Amino acid sequence: VIGLVIGKTDVRSFPDRKNIGTERYTFSFTIRDSPTYFINVQSWGREEYIRSLSESFRVGDCVTIENPLIQSKEAEREEKFNPVTPSGYKLLLSENHSVVKTSSCYNTDTRLLALLHLPVKDPQDYYSLGDIVANGQSLHGRVLNVLAAVMAVSE
């Protein structure tokens, strides 16, 4: 699978239920290869493997994933922590079987670069900041998708 990394989580650790007293490490990222299709990728393993893999690429890089395990996603649980994707599946990386290689999008496919700035939600499923200001009272307590641009960053 070749795609553009459009999102990435930080490395996290959890107590390992099988080996009491040890930790398992994980992080996930989302790749996209067309305007319509994107999928979440999750990796679990030893701290050294997970940290090294996480540091090997960043959002905006093109990656090639070899030998991932394809799993059905548990929509309700998975989508609390990852972007909602159009696929019923996720990719799982294994330290022993999977390989992730980074490459320049210019070397792979320049069309992939345009995918970085496309929203992952339906364009009709957003509220503008103006809508929220004007209708804030009626929207109270609802979960909304907001599409906005950062105009400035300061301390």
Note the pLDDT tens digit of each residue in 32-75.
Answer: 988 888 999 999 999 999 999 999 999 888 999 999 999 998 86
Question: What are the phi and psi torsion angles at 91 (to 5°)?
Answer: -105, 140
Beta strands, E only, the chain? 2-8, 12-15, 23-32, 38-45, 62-66, 69-72, 89-93, 99-103
Distance CA 152, CA 59 (A): 21
Query: 13 lies in a domain?
Result: yes
| Whether 84 contacts 145, CB under 8 Å | no
Q: Record the pTM.
A: 0.77
Query: 148 lies in a domain?
Result: no
Query: 147 lies in a domain?
Result: no
Distance CA 100, CA 120 (A): 23
pLDDT for position 47: 93
Percent of the chain past pLDDT 70, that is, above it, reads 90
* pLDDT: which is higher, 24 or 19: 24
Query: 123 lies in a domain?
Result: no
Note the pLDDT tens digit of each residue in 88-143.
Answer: 899 999 888 999 998 766 555 667 777 777 777 776 778 888 888 888 788 888 77
Q: What is the CATH number of the domain that holds 27?
A: 2.40.50.140
Query: 92 lies in a domain?
Result: yes
Query: 138 lies in a domain?
Result: no
Closest listed residue to residue 61, CA positions, set 34, 83, 37, 31: 31
Query: 127 lies in a domain?
Result: no
Query: 20 lies in a domain?
Result: yes
For 75, the domain range is: 2-114
Number of structural domains the chain divides into: 1
pLDDT for position 121: 73
